[in-house]
Amino acid sequence: MSPAHAIEVQHLHKHYGTTRAVDGLSFSVEAGEVFALVGPNGAGKTTVVEILEGHRRRTSGRVDVLGFDPATGGRAYREQIGIVLQEAGVDEDFSPRELVRLYRGMYPRQLGVDEVIELVGLADKADAKVKTLSGGQRRRLDLALGLVGDPELLFLDEPTTGFDPSARRRAWELVENLRGLGKTVLLTTHYMDEAEHLADRVAVMVAGRLVSIGTPAELGGARRSSSTIAFRLPLDVVVSQVPDLGAALQPQGGDWQLRTTEPTVALERLLGWARSAGVEVSGLTVERPSLEDVYLELIEEAGVSPVEAHTAPVGT
């Protein structure tokens, strides 16, 4: 019997003294869903994930993961989940094949050693000592160790931090493969393009609370964030000649740019004016807000400056 939700969290609190690291969090994750938890440093993501993994005790609230309370689920629970930490810390004198075999012995349900090594793209390093692997190859080994027990639910903590672009793409393909296998994935990441690419839904956490949750498109749509319109005009055109496009214009030489929540209106006015005035508009582009734009807007509203967002802890 599988539970309706893979993860269900209700009114979760975790306090460290006067610090409310998690401050009344409620959300659920469907079975088979890839779910991303994002937020600035110190938002409480690790605390939530560790409570879900059964590695940290909650102060209060209800948590159900795969039908278990992680705090009391013990070994039976841990056998159902896979955990991929940022730094797993394995014995460097072993090879990936040896380590995968070793970890595999701890689980009742298992994937094949070669199958896992193949899945993470480590076949050509399977027998090399871990100390000779690159950073990206080590992360793939971490992933292999999280997968070998054939978990229903996989926790991925910043899975591509420090990866080069092609390794990132491969890691993304791997997560997509896991989705194809029907696994549930809870992912934390600081890369909004990663959340946008991989996640069915994204939860944005700031200072222990959820400030938004939804599909990447829903987060963008709900915000009415600004699109950016860019175009080129002949060098002799000055601002006073251009009609009101409903937003401030920022010309730089012949390059013009504006940000607006009503791109259609601005485009109609711009092109209508250009046609009647006989002015050539070239290099026209309209960019919708990325998840990163929406994220920065959300956390700024929640009181974190965009500069702090990636680098400094949130005050309590």
Ligand X SMILES: Nc1ncnc2c1ncn2[C@@H]1O[C@H](COP(=O)(O)OP(=O)(O)OP(=O)(O)O)[C@@H](O)[C@H]1O
Residue closer to ligand X, measured from CB, 29 or 233: 29
In the bound complex, what is the minimum distance in angstroms from residue 256's beta carbon to ligand X? 38
Which spans in the chain are helix H? 45-53, 74-78, 96-104, 113-119, 135-147, 165-180, 192-198, 216-223, 263-277, 291-301, 306-309
User: What is the CB-side half-sphere exposure of residue 119 using CA atoms within 13 A?
Assistant: 24
**Closest CB to ligand X among 50 and 152?**
50
Select 162 or 313, whichever has its Cβ closest to ligand X: 313
Provide, rounded to whole angstroms, the least separation between the CB of residue 114 and ligand X: 34
Rounded CA separation 148/143 (Å): 9
The least CB distance from residue 34 to ligand X, in Å, is: 19
Among 16, 164, 241, 248, binds ligand X (CB under 6 A): 16
Considering the complex, state which of residue 115 and residue 300 has its C-beta at the smaller distance from ligand X: 300
> By CB under 6 A, what part of segment 17-36 binds ligand X?
19, 21
Nearer to ligand X, 18 or 166 (CB): 18
Could you give the residue ranges of the DSSP H alpha helices within 2-152? 45-53, 74-78, 96-104, 113-119, 135-147
At residue 220, what is the residue type? G
Least distance to ligand X from the beta carbon of 209, Å? 12
In the complex with ligand X, which residue's Cβ is closer, 65 or 116? 65
Side chain identity at 301, as an amino acid letter? E
Strands in 201-206's sheet, in edge-to-edge order, are 81-84, 153-157, 184-188, 34-38, 201-206, 209-214
| DSSP tag of 280 | P
For 101-122, b/e burial (b = at least 16 CB within 10 A) is: eebbeebeebbebeebbebbbb
Nearest distance in Å: CB 174, ligand X: 22
Nearer residue to ligand X within complex by CB, 43 or 186: 43
Report 47-106 residues binding ligand X (CB under 6 A): 47
Query: Nearer to ligand X by C-beta: 21 or 100?
Result: 21
Q: Within 34-53, which residues bind ligand X (CB under 6 A)?
A: 39, 41-47
Residues 275-314 that bind ligand X (CB under 6 A): 313
Q: In sequence order, what are the beta bridge partners of 29?
A: 7
CA distance 305 to 164: 28
Ramachandran area for residue 208 (φ above 0: left; ψ -120 to 50: alpha; else beta): left
- In whole angstroms, how close is the CB of 45 to ligand X at the nearest point? 4
Say how many residues touch ligand X, by CB under 6 A. Answer: 12
- How near is the Cβ of 40 to ligand X at its closest, in Å? 7
For the CB of residue 199, give the shortest distance to ligand X in the complex, in Å: 17
Is residue 227 a contact point for ligand X (CB under 6 A)? no
Separation between Cα atoms, residue 156 and residue 263, nearest integer Å = 37
Contacts to ligand X by CB under 6 A? 16, 19, 21, 39, 41-47, 313
